[in-house]
């Protein structure tokens, strides 16, 4: 996620500066940046939201639950989201 923010910034500023210079300033490799620019982000917006929610859930639990505990918590959250109509 963090590098995608950098790559997105590089994309937006590439009209004003060279990609090589922006990559150097943002401390990312040029080949990875060009690859991202061709490919686009790996996660769509929905997946990115899900990733952030799971990460926040993990942080709130003080990095405690293992994979089974996280799955239970995520399943409860999905049921809540479906019940409220947030997710189909």
**Residue-by-residue pLDDT tens, the chain, 88 positions:** 578 888 889 989 989 999 999 999 999 998 988 888 888 766 667 777 777 777 787 777 776 667 777 777 777 777 666 666 655 5
pLDDT (0 to 100) of residue 22: 93
pLDDT (0 to 100) of residue 56: 80
3-state secondary structure the chain: CHHHHHHHHHHHHCCCCCHHHHHHHHCCCHHHHHHHHHHCCCCCHHHHHHHHHHHHHHHHCCCCCCHHHHHHHHHHHHHHHHHCCCCC
Tokens matching residue 66: 């293992």
Tokens 């859930």 map to which residue? Answer: 57
pLDDT (0 to 100) of residue 65: 66
């Amino acid at each position: 996620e963090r590098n995608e923010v950098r790559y997105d910034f590089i994309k937006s500023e590439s009209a004003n500066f060279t990609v090589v210079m922006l990559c150097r300033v943002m401390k990312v490799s040029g080949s990875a940046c060009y690859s991202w620019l061709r490919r686009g982000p790996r996660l769509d917006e929905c997946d990115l939201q899900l990733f952030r929610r799971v990460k926040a859930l993990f942080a709130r639990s003080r990095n405690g639950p293992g994979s089974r505990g996280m799955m239970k918590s995520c399943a409860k959250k999905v049921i809540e989201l479906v019940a409220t109509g947030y997710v189909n």
